[in-house]
Structure 1
Amino acid sequence: MNKDAAHAGQAAYTPFTLPLYDRLVLGASCRWLWRCPSERILDHYQKQVSSNHLDVGVGSGYFLDHVAFRSDRPRLVLMDMNANSLAFCSRRIARYSPKLLQSNVLEPIDFDGARFDSLGMNFLLHCLPGDMHGKARALDHLKPLLNPGARVFGATLLHGGVERNLPARGLMHLYNRRGIFSNREDSLMALERELQGRFDAVEIHVQGCAALFAARVKD
């Protein structure tokens, strides 16, 4: 695995860009380019998240900040390769006292805590290097951290098997050239294949060029 490529996918998250993320990415890009408004992703998140939750690839922490947990004191662990994202997100949801784990999900994860009932992976997969089969190593590394029956969910931007308008194709091409995205080989069929090979009750809903997925860890 090319560690430089893995770092490139998260290098855009800096102390300067993170305060702009909600407005530029979750606001403008999601609505007008990817054609999947952040409200739709939040609704998907709300339906799947538990009060014993692991969030991987946390970004700005927007969804954790806006979701309504079923408990006043949820157990939250934030996992990301980027220390900037971890710090920004943890400050934003400090009311929940989240635990932080800096880790590369494409490598074995050193974690010996209690297992989780849900795993969120919003806008992570399209930033990981390689094809969908290679990216799915992240799922193999994360599964041991989950309880039987746990929900695995998230959203990712696809290149194949979805409709992309002209601006979306242009920006996606630019992001792939810069290494921010690595999704030229990501298709709806490939995503479905990797999820079904590992989990039960796989559901994928496409909106624009985004795939909102959910699955259940086998008992």
Structure 2
Amino acid sequence: MPTPVDSTHAGQAVYTRRNLALYDLIVLRLSNRGIWRCPTSRLLEHYARHLSANHLDVGVGTGFFLDRSRFPSHQPRLTLFDLNADSLAHTAARVKRLQPQTRQLDILAPIEDPPAPFDSIGINYLLHCLPGPMTHKAHAFDHLAPLLAPGATLFGATILGDGVTRSPLARRLMAFYNAKGIFSNTTDTPQALEHALAERFDHHQIEIVGCVALFSARRE
């Protein structure tokens, strides 16, 4: 198993087999709409819009978005990166029909033996689980950017901890998750994300929906 960088382990340790079975209900059906104020349907639309037939998914969760999105090819090339072995196994089984390749790794560490470039890279709900301020967790962009083919898009969504409108319930739940190490987003702002993307990519877009930033970026 890869050695986690800093406290990366804490943000992924919660994704046990038991919790993965509840994730779609608790996070995607309930929390997204009722607490983070960004319906899962909005995330799915953003995800499907940027998905290509040559795709890398990083921080795969339960594979919900891969399972619900239509690829522009019947035989896509799909690769899954995650530090959590249970998430990898769960997602790989859910999208078995797509014959995904899997790699267990820490995205805050340099990627050894990198695969051939991809036309899209998804990092949905990953950044807020990575440790440290945005300047640290943005090393994930540094490690993923070389895996983008010319004109390819890196996209995703992240829950922000500051600089957005949060309900009292969202504040309390976010504080709890940060205290447990599930989240590490107390200083994540739209401006911090904007700066991290602008430093590394030629073009980027960010849309704020509730507490969530939906973003995409690409190089020339």
TM-score normalised to structure 1 length: 0.97
Change (3 A) 1:112 1:201: closer
Of 5, 8, 16, 1:14 maps to 16
How much has 1:4 moved relative to structure 2?
A: 5.3
Query: How many equivalent residue pairs?
Result: 218
Whole-Å separation in 2 of the counterparts to 1:28 and 1:54: 27
Q: What's the counterpart of residue 44 of structure 2?
A: 42
Does the residue aligned with 1:197 lie in a helix, a strand or coil? helix
Of 34, 50, 75, 2:77 maps to 75
Of 180, 190, 197, 1:195 maps to 197
Q: What's the counterpart of residue 155 of structure 2?
A: 153
How much has 1:3 moved relative to structure 2?
A: 3.5
Give the gaps of 5 or more residues in structure 2. Answer: none
Q: What's the counterpart of residue 208 of structure 2?
A: 206
Whether 2:191 is the aligned partner of 1:174: answer: no
Give the gaps of 5 or more residues in structure 1. Answer: none
Taking only the aligned residue pairs, the percentage that are identical comes to: 54
- Listed one character per residue, the Cα deviations across residues 150-186 of structure 1 (whole Å, up to 9, x for unaligned) are 1010000001221110110000000000000000110
Whole-Å separation in 2 of the counterparts to 1:201 and 1:42: 22
Whole-Å separation in 2 of the counterparts to 1:56 and 1:112: 14
Whether 2:110 is the aligned partner of 1:108: answer: yes
Of 46, 51, 62, 1:60 maps to 62
Q: What's the counterpart of residue 124 of structure 2?
A: 122
Amino acid at match of 1:107: A
Of 80, 89, 92, 1:90 maps to 92
Q: What's the counterpart of residue 144 of structure 1?
A: 146
How much has 1:113 moved relative to structure 2?
A: 2.5
Whether 2:109 is the aligned partner of 1:131: answer: no
Whole-Å separation in 2 of the counterparts to 1:111 and 1:55: 17
Whole-Å separation in 2 of the counterparts to 1:103 and 1:3: 10
How much has 1:78 moved relative to structure 2?
A: 0.3
Does the residue aligned with 1:60 lie in a helix, a strand or coil? coil
Give yes or no for contact 2:6–2:131 (8 Å, CA) kept in 1. no
The alignment yields a C-alpha RMSD, in angstroms, of: 1.2
